[in-house]
Amino acid sequence: MLSYLHGFHAGNFADVHKHSALVLILAHLQKKTKPFCVIDTHAGAGWYDLSSLQAQKTGEWKGGIAAVQHENQVPVAMVPYLDLIEDFIPENRGFSDDSGAEGDVGPDGDTYQEPPLYYPGSPFIVQKMLRENDHLALMELHPREYETLDRRIYHDRRVTLQKRDGYEGLVAMVPPAIRRGLVLMDPSYDVKQDYARAARSIIAAHRRWATATYMLWYPILEDGFDHELHAMFREIPAAGGVLCSEIAASHGGGKGRMLGSGLLIVNPPYQLDEQLADIGEWLRDVVHLPGPGVHFQDWLVKAQ
């Protein structure tokens, strides 16, 4: 259940899809002077060294963030995300944090052959966009990921971290003291039950904090587990609606392989649908999918 490590997949096409949407939502929250709160239920290790053997073993980032960065013309809506990624250098990136550098040997015996290339996970994307009075609440259950993340964010008073299950933790933590905000849920989906667990957790949280924006990422598989997810989200009485954005291969890949990336966004900010449409149509043809790419976007619940 706790076998998943995002370091093998960091910077892939799903991260590009998810994190470009995350930056747009955070930019919207920044438009008002009132503070905002972000709850990240499955935080991971915080940032990743794409030159490590862990990342090089799969090389998924080459068909994701690297493919995007090699393009000369990008949608306007992608620019804030790409600027943040290009400028990201971890402050706490020593050997003890498993970042790796050329010639270093990591804790698992990995030898790093290239200079480090860093990619921020959602905790550090959010942290870079926090203002003085904003707050980020992180949850991570995996022991190794939690310990790594704890070392990396220890110095920031705006950030809190709990070692707990993100599904139950979310419901327990809402509504937060700061009532403007975003919930990001990005589970590992190690088991198919995670689809329903994620939906139930967000539905329960929405009952208690109905004004927040909720963004759930999910993998699109040949097995079609996301169909039940869509059905459950159609029942959320969200005044701001529920938006679905997907980038996937129409076919291709082996059994169990991820075909694409999906986002379900409850109460999306104004014009996010237009921005994600531009991004999705562009990413479909730029990132490396396991087959011919398609982009799908629709309102599962229309905004009132």
Question: Contact 208/175 with Cβ under 8 angstroms?
Answer: yes
Buried residues in 200-225 as b, exposed as e (16+ CB within 10 A) = ebbbebbeebbebbbbbbbbbbeeeb
Residue 104, burial from CB neighbour count under 10 angstroms (0-12, 13-18, 19+): middle
C-alpha–C-alpha distance, residues 250 and 108, integer Å: 37
Q: At what angle do helices 122-129 and 79-87 cross, to 10 degrees?
A: 100
Tokens 């002077």 -> residue: 33
Q: How far, rounded to the nearest angstrom, does the alpha carbon of residue 21 sit from its chain's CA centroid?
A: 9
186 is catalytic: yes
Q: At what angle do helices 122-129 and 13-29 cross, to 10 degrees?
A: 20
Catalytic residue of the set 15, 98, 110, 186: 186
Phi-psi region of 109 (alpha: psi -120 to 50; beta: other; left: phi over 0): left
Helix (H, G, I), strand (E, B) or coil at 209: coil
C-alpha–C-alpha distance, residues 266 and 254, integer Å: 32
Catalytic residues, by residue number, are 186
